Copies of this chain bind each other. A is one copy, B any other.
Amino acid sequence: MNCDEILLNHCCNLAWQTQSLALPNPSVGAMVVDKNGNILGQGVHKIAGSPHAEVLALQEAYYTLSRDERILALKKSDDIHAFLLQNHNQMFKECALYVSLEPCNHKGKTPPCAHLLAQLGFAKVCIAALDNHALAAGGREYLISHGINAIFVQSPALQEAAHNLLLPFETLRQKGRFVLFKLAHRLDGSYTQGRISSQISQIFTHNQRSVCDWLCISGKTLNTDNPKLNARYALPPYDKTHLPQIGIISRHVDSISEHLASRARIIKDIEAFRALGGFIIVEGGFNLLSMLKDEIDMLLIHAAFWCDGAHNNAHFIPHNLKAHFKLIHTMPLGEDLAIWLR
């Protein structure tokens, strides 16, 4: 085992912080390290169309080494690429770049990262997962053919971590849809009546809503909570004005309030649910989970670690959930814990 594995695992953890938010792109984390182990820059790919993780890590690393503030003003990937190529002055010759996914090798919305890295001339590029996407693949080969020591670091634990990180991206690409079920609960498992999650949890949830195609809830939630189902707490670069299409999962819906009617569809059964495409978020409790358990790709629990004495005794809602999920990642979200399962 080599320290590269621990450092790549760190890049995977960075990438989880924006898990699902860059869809249809993968979440990626990267960092630039000098020969003394100093971390010059770190980056995560935040949203489709914005600079890739490697480019953001390079931007920060360039600033760390040069203190040239001009690069910080650049927002577009093209501009950062061009600036780096013109000004790098061999400063990365003895540096290593760590990245959770093979650098891309095609010009999509941004120029190819592999070409940029080759021209900057890194001493080493360490990669946790190869890209299977035919269009973007070949970054490692390109780097090697241009004289860069590009290493695919293989260990069972890291491979699993890197694979799990890519699940939403791979699922959406292969099946045309990625279904995430989101559930929040307090210390005792209660989840009804009022606030559960911390502010940072709420921001994460609204960032997800701002990039999803469908936001689904049960008819019961619609009637009980009359929710707004918007992304009002999303923070840039996520668009708080985005209004996802709404799926109301229910056999009978009496009425839909005016502010939702224009974007709501009644989902009467599993067949109708299966007809939805894209990034689909379902927010609900154990009864809805029980109904949809075979349809979901990932389960995200926001666990809060408090009880206030007021909700405890009212919370129990009978359900028939019979399911077994597999833990894939945890990360703190403010005071809460995000638990990712599949």
Contact = CB atoms under 8 A, between A and B. Distances in A.
A339 B307 contact: no
Contacts of A10: 6
Interface stretch (A22-30, A74-82, A258-266, A329-337): A329-337
Contacts of A3: 3, 7, 33, 37-39
Contact of A185 (B189, B308, B309, B324): B189
A306 to B, nearest CB: 4
Nearest to A299: B305
B321 A309 contact: yes
Contacts of A1: 38-39
B327 A332 contact: yes
A272 B45 CA distance: 56
A252 interface: no
A30 to B, nearest CB: 14
A324 B187 CA distance: 9
Interface string A29-42: 00001001111000
Contacts of A33: 3
- Looking at A36, A313, A330, A341, the one whose CB has the most chain B CB atoms below 10 A away is A330
Contact of A312 (B187, B318, B324, B341): B318
A147 to B, nearest CB: 20
A190 interface: yes
B305 A286 contact: no
A6 B330 CA distance: 17
A322 interface: yes
A326 interface: yes
Contact of A323 (B286, B306, B324): B306
A322 B341 contact: no
A319 B316 CA distance: 12
B339 A337 contact: yes
Contacts of A324: 305-306
A306 B325 contact: yes
A4 interface: yes
A303 interface: yes
A174 interface: no
A327 B337 CA distance: 8
A89 interface: no
A323 B306 CA distance: 5
Contacts of A189: 185, 188-190
A321 B6 contact: no
A39 B330 CA distance: 25
Interface string A65-84: 00000000000000000000
Contacts of A307: 286, 319, 321-323
Interface of A: 1-4, 6-7, 10, 33, 36-39, 185, 187-190, 286, 303, 305-309, 312-313, 315-316, 318-327, 330, 332, 335-337, 339, 341
5 contacts: A2-B39, A187-B286, A187-B325, A305-B325, A305-B326
Given A185-B189, A305-B341, A337-B339, 13 more contacts: A2-B38, A187-B321, A189-B189, A189-B190, A286-B307, A305-B326, A307-B319, A307-B323, A308-B322, A309-B322, A327-B332, A327-B336, A330-B337
Per CB-CB distance, the 9 closest pairs between chain A and chain B, nearest first, are A189-B189, A309-B322, A316-B316, A3-B37, A306-B324, A305-B325, A307-B321, A1-B39, A330-B330
